[in-house]
Amino acid sequence: MNANAPVEAAELRGLVAAEVERQTKGLREEMAAKIAEVRERTVDDAATIVVFSGDLDKALAGFVLATGAAAAGLETSMFFTFWGLSVLKKKGAGGGSKNLVEKMFAMMTPSSSESLGTSKMNFFGLGAVMLRKMMKDKQIATLEELIALAREMHVKMIACTMSMDAMGVGKEELVDGLTYGGVATYMADAVRSRVTLFI
């Protein structure tokens, strides 16, 4: 019997154990990389709503959906662009310095959420008055109450800075507590959302 056999067997076991450990480590690293890659493509429990419309009924729908999503546990953001910025205007807020075209444009657009018209049957504002009256009679939350509720539920409200520039809307005209950003800000939220809506 060879006296070196136990030593060779021990070395062989050591070599095999080292090789198994090396392969296992490589497999663990490969699996971790694959899991990280899948996580990057996996959506979060989030919802994103684009509010393009400045119509009362559509704004109501947007805030009903936003508060519903937040109540369901989704991290919710609303991106207000173009006509949707009217929903965020402060009642009676000064317009800051504007050129003639911006002043005219401001006169032709709603001055706050309270002066939004309806998308159908507006009849020079009568439709909005009737809709608000019917909602009050049926004890349905107003747009302003839904906006306050959305704030309490930490719904992120983003004002589109490009639309603000294009339409001559200044930050001083908008309600407090907003996030300001452009397409990149919206896309950062939308790309990880389970639900994305356009209103």
Q: Which residue has the higher pLDDT, 92 or 40?
A: 92
Q: Is 109 helix (H, G, I), strand (E, B) or coil?
A: coil
Residue spans per domain, the chain: 1-42, 46-198
Nearest to 109 by CA among 88, 131, 78, 127: 88
Q: Would the pTM of this model clear 0.85, i.e. be above it?
A: no
Q: 46-198: which CATH topology?
A: Hypothetical Protein Ychn; Chain: A, (3.40.1260)
Nearest to 179 by CA among 107, 92, 63, 77: 77
pLDDT digit string (tens) for 99-133?
Answer: 888 888 888 889 899 999 999 999 989 999 999 99
Quote the tokens at residue 65.
Answer: 């959906």
Nearest to 88 by CA among 110, 121, 69, 67: 110
Q: Are 170 and 164 in contact (CB under 8 A)?
A: yes
pLDDT band at 94 (very low <50, low <70, confident <90, very high): confident
Average model confidence (pLDDT) across the chain = 89
